[in-house]
Structure 1
Amino acid sequence: MSTSTPRAVPTRVPAAERGSTRIADRVVAKIAAQAAREALVAEADGAAPPHATVTVHHDIARVRVSLELPYPSDVAAQSAAVRRRVAERVEECASMTVPEVAVEVEHLHPAHIRPAAAGRDRRLR
């Protein structure tokens, strides 16, 4: 009969102490741009999609979003909606604190030409 010594059971290391996850700035920027797109009430025809740049330090992300809006529109309300949505989505998806979302409106695009004006013939005769 052989005597065996009990095997040592390895101690489990808590998940938070096993390593770290780093999310690239460009990934956070894509999350922010998509969130800005979701927040816009209406996109202007011919407008470029929102673009975001991000600076991440530890788990704090500072975001700058550039966008184009239709004219006329409530620029202040749309900017506030973009700020809220971007902060929520980055915190939710990347687990980062977002103390600042700067919104830069680059262009205002006029609405479609009205149907009555579109039918006018402007050629010189």
Structure 2
Amino acid sequence: MSSTSSNSTSSKSISGSSGPPRSAVSRVAAGDRGATRIADRVVAKIAAQAAREVLDTTSGTPAHATVTVHHDIARVRVSLELDYPSDLAAQCAAVRRQVALRVEECASMSVPEVDIDIEHLHSTHTRTAHGRDRRLR
């Protein structure tokens, strides 16, 4: 009798019959399944990580983001520290593109604008001359 019980258990795990059949799940309309809400702080983490993907974060503080979400629209503000001299506009444009792309991909939200605050500039000349990282404020 115990061998019959173990056989039926193994056949259940092999067939993967946990939960309702797929046909029953697919019959429920998308609007009736419930809602998914992504917290602003989660979207902010996605945005900050996206900015870090673009920038060299070995010097200074990593990028930080704040987000305001209204329905499926995210307004993003990213705070950065950048090396100077460099093409600041090009770096900001790359961050804007990456942040908008990642938030749209990961959170399914449109991002009409990404504001950039450059908090500090790090002089590459000073760092090279003195062998350490010094901030320009």
- Distance in 2 (alpha carbons) for counterparts of 1:109 and 1:43: 12
The total of aligned residue pairs comes to 105
Name the structure 2 match of 1:91. 104
Query: Hey, what does 2:57 align to over in structure 1?
Result: 43
CA contact (8 A) 1:28 1:54 kept: yes
User: Aligned partners of 1:63, 1:54: CA distance in 2, in Å?
Assistant: 5
CA distance in 1, matches of 2:58, 2:120: 10
The 8 Å contact of residues 44 and 109 in structure 1, kept in 2 or not, is answered as no
Give the deviation of 1:16 after TM superposition: 3.7
Seen in structure 2, the aligned counterparts of structure 1 residues 44 and 68 have a Cα distance that, compared at 3 Å, is: farther
Structure 1 residue 44, shift from structure 2 partner = 5.7
- Of the three residues 46, 51, 70, the one matched with 1:31 is 46
RMSD: 1.8
The separation in 2 between residues aligned to 1:70 and 1:16, in whole angstroms, is 48
Normalising by the residue count of structure 2, what TM-score does the alignment of the two structures yield? Answer: 0.71
Which ranges of 4 or more aligned residues in structure 1 deviate by more than 3 Å? none
8 Å contact from structure 1 (residues 44, 69) kept in 2 = no
Higher share in helix: 2
Q: Deviations over 1:12-38 (max 9, x none)?
A: 312343111000000000000000011
Residue identity over aligned pairs, in percent, reads 70
- Which of 77, 93, 97 pairs up with 1:80? 93
Matched, 1:18 2:30: no
Structure 1 unaligned segments of length 5 or more: list them: 1-9, 119-125
Which AA in structure 2 matches 1:31? I
Work out which structure has the larger RCO, using CA pairs closer than 8 Å and 6 or more positions apart in sequence: 1
